[in-house]
Amino acid sequence: MLKPKQMKAIQLRKLRKIVEYAYRNVPLFKKRFDEAGIKPSSIRTLDDVAKVPFTVKTDLRDNYPLGLLAVPQDRLYALHASSGTTGKPIVVAYTRGDLECWSRLMGRSFDVAGVRKGDIVQNMYGYGLFTGGLGFHYGARAVGATVIPTSTGNTKRQLMLMKDLRTTVAACTPSYMVYLCEASRAEGYMPRTDFALRIGLFGAEPWSEEARKRIEEVFGLRAHDCFGMSELYGPGVAIECDQRNGLHVWSDEFLVETINPDTGEVLEPGKEGELVFTMLSREAMPLLRYRTRDLSRVFEEECACGRYHPRIRRIKGRSDDMLIVGGVNVFPSQVEHVLMNIPGVGDQYQIILSHTDLDRLAVKVETTSDRLNDPKFLKEIQGDLLAVLGINADVALVELGTLPRSEVGKARRVIDLRSKE
């Protein structure tokens, strides 16, 4: 395993090279460096990275589709796109070398989670423009496991194949796995005995420790949190090892920093802030100091698994997912954390924001039928939400199975009616 000193030497060597490369080959970076009055040669130490101007999501949008390419277009082996909620998507490009690097990192991530040759990986991430499908596919190939590319949806068939093909590794969004908990029972399966699942690779959206417990209890598997984003190849940026105490960042390819999202100031390790990544060897679309909007903390202590790769805490959410309700900041992940800790609360919930005279936060919660009309239970949920969020939420209990489930892609649990009112 690489020791911190060796890692830092590798990072510095790669950083200096990529900065030079981005400056020479991407007009946007040259312009930003010139405006900031720095040259690639100004980067002499790892800390000097703080001199490099940030890159933000709108830079990718403004340069749609391929304005940030550092290579001629005929060197591209693949293009993916991340669906933005508004306007044009972000297009990401890969050379052959980029695809190889991405596969290697995915393979490493699978290996760290314990996936081996002989495992049967059911890949329920969406195949297509979304990087999840192919990213996890490449990971399975890299470790020599068997991959079943079921992609999203068609839950009955997923479950049938999971049983009949003796799937050992489930890869999908955590919200879909939570949905499979109830769907498998509804289809008459006994998840622990009918399925042979032993590992789960879950990511692409925030989830909670409580959701992990529920999934593990139902399926008897070990669930690993996987983090990544299209701009940084896709999945495979960070993953939990068997300790599952933070996600190891593959720091030989991604230099990670945390910054204060309001001021841009670099924070000490351990402080919560916005994650910023510099890709250390991307060929097609290098990104320097890319602001992710994702909020987390970085810590650098050696892990009990023996790796020194820095770890990030489970992502709390994106700063742009943060809901501001009457001036109070609320993350959907906090609501999930509260709800999943209450026995009798189902797996599905919905957050609805509205405004008449004041902002209002309503939470619809699925519960077992015996608790539906239980005012004490309702009070308990309200009290727990108040204690964590600091605001009064209107809680409505609804029957199990009544809230919309998403069988495709990431869960959409927040409905904000405020802009329309």
Closest CA to 415 of 332, 320, 351: 351
- Which residues make Cβ contacts (< 8 Å) with residue 81, sequence separation at least 6? 89, 90, 91, 92, 129, 230
Under rule CB under 5 A, residue 303 binds Zn ion: yes
Q: H or E element: which one contains 4?
A: helix 4-25
Beta strand ranges found along 280-376 (DSSP E):
290-296, 298-299, 311-312, 317-318, 323-325, 328-330, 345-355, 359-367
How far apart are alpha carbons 185 and 168 in whole angstroms? 18
Comparison of 40 and 139: residue with beta carbon closer to ligand AMP: 139
- The 244-283 site mask, x for binding Zn ion (CB under 5 A), equals ----------------------------------------
Least separation in angstroms between CB 84 and ligand AMP: 9
Looking at residue 204, the DSSP 8-state letter turns out to be S
Q: What is the dihedral of CA 42, 254, 281, 279, to 10 degrees?
A: -70
Least separation in angstroms between CB 110 and ligand AMP: 15
Contact window for Zn ion (CB under 5 A) among 166-174, 239-247, 351-359, 407-415 = 239-247
Least separation in angstroms between CB 315 and ligand AMP: 4
- Which residues make Cβ contacts (< 8 Å) with residue 265, sequence separation at least 6? 259
Cis peptide before 404 (omega within 30 of 0): no
Least separation in angstroms between CB 238 and ligand AMP: 8
What does 18 interact with, of Zn ion, ligand AMP, none (CB < 5 to 8 A by kind)? none
Least separation in angstroms between CB 244 and Zn ion: 8
What does 305 interact with, of Zn ion, ligand AMP, none (CB < 5 to 8 A by kind)? Zn ion
Under rule CB under 5 A, residue 241 binds Zn ion: yes
Least separation in angstroms between CB 207 and ligand AMP: 7
Contact window for Zn ion (CB under 5 A) among 28-36, 72-80, 252-260, 300-308 = 300-308
DSSP for 212-240, written as a single string: HHHHHHHH--EEEEEEEEGGGTEEEEEEE
The Cβ of residue 403 has, within 10 Å, a number of other Cβ atoms equal to 16
Least separation in angstroms between CB 316 and Zn ion: 20
Which three-class secondary structure state does DSSP give residue 173? coil
Comparison of 108 and 289: residue with beta carbon closer to Zn ion: 108
Contact 335, 363 (CB under 8 A): yes
Least separation in angstroms between CB 229 and ligand AMP: 3
Instruction: Point out which residues bind ligand AMP (CB under 6 A).
Output: 82, 131, 203-206, 225-230, 292, 294, 315, 318
Under rule CB under 5 A, residue 305 binds Zn ion: yes
Under rule CB under 5 A, residue 411 binds Zn ion: no
Q: 260 phi and psi, to 5 degrees?
A: -70, 120
How far apart are alpha carbons 293 and 261 in whole angstroms? 8
Contact window for Zn ion (CB under 5 A) among 19-27, 120-128, 242-250, 375-383 = 242-250
Comparison of 291 and 360: residue with beta carbon closer to ligand AMP: 291
Contact window for Zn ion (CB under 5 A) among 20-28, 34-42, 184-192, 237-245 = 237-245
Binding site for Zn ion (CB under 5 A): 241, 243, 303, 305, 307
